[in-house]
Amino acid sequence: MNLLWTWLADPAHWQGDDGIPVRIAEHLAYSGVTLLLAAAIGVPLGLWVGHTGRGRVLVVNLVNGMRSVPTLGLLFVAVLVVGPLLAGDIAFVVPAIFVLVVLAVPPILAGAYAGVEGVDPGARDAARGMGMRPLEVLAKVEVPCALPLIFSGLRSAALQVVATATLAASVSLGGLGRFLIDGQAYRDYGQMAGGALLVAVLAMLVDLVLAGVQRVAVSPGLAPVRTSRRTGRLSRLVPTTT
Amino acid sequence: MNWLLTHLDEVGGLMVTHAVLSVIPLVIGLVVAVPLGWLAWRYRLLRTPLVAGTGLLYTIPSLALFILMPLVLGTGILDPLNVVVALSVYTVALLVRTVADGLASVPDEVLQAATAMGIGPLRRFFGVQLPLAVPVIAAGLRVAAVSNVSIVSVAALLGIAQLGSLFTDGFARNFLDPIIVGIVACMVLALALDLAILAVSRAVTPWLRVGSPA
């Protein structure tokens, strides 16, 4: 325990090109780029699948299948295969980001798909009845209603990406994983544990920030309906169908 | 694939270790998650802290958790016990919510009927409610099993031998064959565990097959 605090408290570790702030910035950069790319692929594709109902089986199997692929192995294969085609740091950055994107797309895709598919058909019909075109229905009704699940997909992808970006250090990249890998190479447990603690805290903070964004972005009308404990009745006014 | 043929023994041994490291935490996790899930189901006030609290554990990256374990357990960094405990933590994190949802999925009328028949609370739980919750719990267990297999391989970075060692060895020697073999072996193992849990779940819920076309 002491090794951990001594390492974290040493001001020398908080400055310079390989200091903690720089590593955090690198870690967030890998994760941010990955999430943007993955969202750019996964969200539209998921919306399309949810909206049209095409390719459902493929999505479900893709999400389940990807979970069984060991990321570390995939990362090493990508670096060994793609790396030699590129020069410099890019030779490691491109395959690492690629693997992280491959990891992040399935949960995002699944969230967007499940969100749109789960939209109340009544709301969809009402929108159509009001004369909305299919794209308007998607943009004005389906997407806002699907936001909670889209966010849950994004958040689980973000968690996985922040966690897995740690592995980038094992193919000589930066990020907080550096401390874990270097600490092990130098038999410096304080550095390993310090880095590990930082990654864990970073992952929780990222999730917290996304939860905050979700709170602001999702319409309050979609908040989970609370039931009163005593009466068992819905405490909010909810339109009834009878 | 010549490499595989000459290294069958080695790969087989690593696969067995890998399977053990993935399955033990699954069992421990389930045993811990059932009472916690029951508490979350029975006492509504406990639900949020239990589900959110264990969910928080899931945000800790696996490599970080493996490294932090010795601080908690007092083990050495190379001790496979770190991996077993860390994965048990993840399994519990995933399963507490699933168990609570599974118990909640059992209709109230069934529980009331059981009580009316004079079945005591303990027997009602183990004889009626838990078996009826098996399909939901098994679904969560399958997710946990598959992700455990993938996470175990990360421990190779710390030098703990299992299928992930094929990744680190192959990468260090710039040699693709062992890495590919390792990936396939991991996926086969994950699939086998997934199917095994599915089979057990089907076997203990014979009533689900009655009346439905096979």
Domain residue spans of chain B: 2-206
In tens, the pLDDT along A55-82 reads 888 888 888 788 888 999 999 999 999 8
Nearest to B164 among A68, A69, A70 (CB): A70
In tens, the pLDDT along B44-80 reads 888 888 888 887 888 888 888 998 888 888 888 888 8
Cβ-contact B106, B41 below 8 angstroms: no
- Give the tokens for residue A204: 């929780």
- CATH 3.40.718.10 is held by the domain B2-206: no
pLDDT over 80 (residue A222)? no
Cβ of residue A177 closer than 8 Å to a chain B Cβ: yes
Cβ of residue B59 closer than 8 Å to a chain A Cβ: yes
Name every chain B residue with its beta carbon within 8 A of the beta carbon of A199.
Answer: 61, 63-64
State residue A231's pLDDT score: 42
Name every chain B residue with its beta carbon within 8 A of the beta carbon of A72.
Answer: 153-154, 156-157, 164, 167
Mean pLDDT, rounded, for A176-204: 89
Cβ of residue A192 closer than 8 Å to a chain B Cβ: yes
Do the Cβ atoms of A77 and B77 come within 8 Å?
no
Do the Cβ atoms of A68 and B77 come within 8 Å?
no
ipTM of the complex: 0.85
How many Cβ atoms sit within 10 Å of the Cβ of residue B10? 15
pLDDT over 50 (residue A230)? no
State residue A131's pLDDT score: 92
Do the Cβ atoms of A192 and B170 come within 8 Å?
no
How many Cβ atoms sit within 10 Å of the Cβ of residue B139? 16
Inter-CA distances, A49 with A6, A42, A104, Å:
52, 10, 17
State residue A232's pLDDT score: 43
Mean pLDDT, rounded, for B170-199: 92
pLDDT over 80 (residue A203)? yes
For chains A and B, CB pairs below 8 A equal 126
* Domain residue ranges in chain A: 18-222
Name every chain B residue with its beta carbon within 8 A of the beta carbon of A79.
Answer: 171
- Give the tokens for residue A23: 């590593």
State residue A229's pLDDT score: 44
Cβ of residue B104 closer than 8 Å to a chain A Cβ: no
State residue B60's pLDDT score: 85
- Rounded to whole angstroms, the Cα distance separating A61 from A44 reads 18
- Give the tokens for residue A162: 């922040």
In tens, the pLDDT along A84-129 reads 888 877 888 899 999 999 999 999 998 999 899 888 889 889 999 9
**What is the rounded average pLDDT for all residues in chain A?**
85
- CATH 1.10.3720.10 is held by the domain A18-222: yes
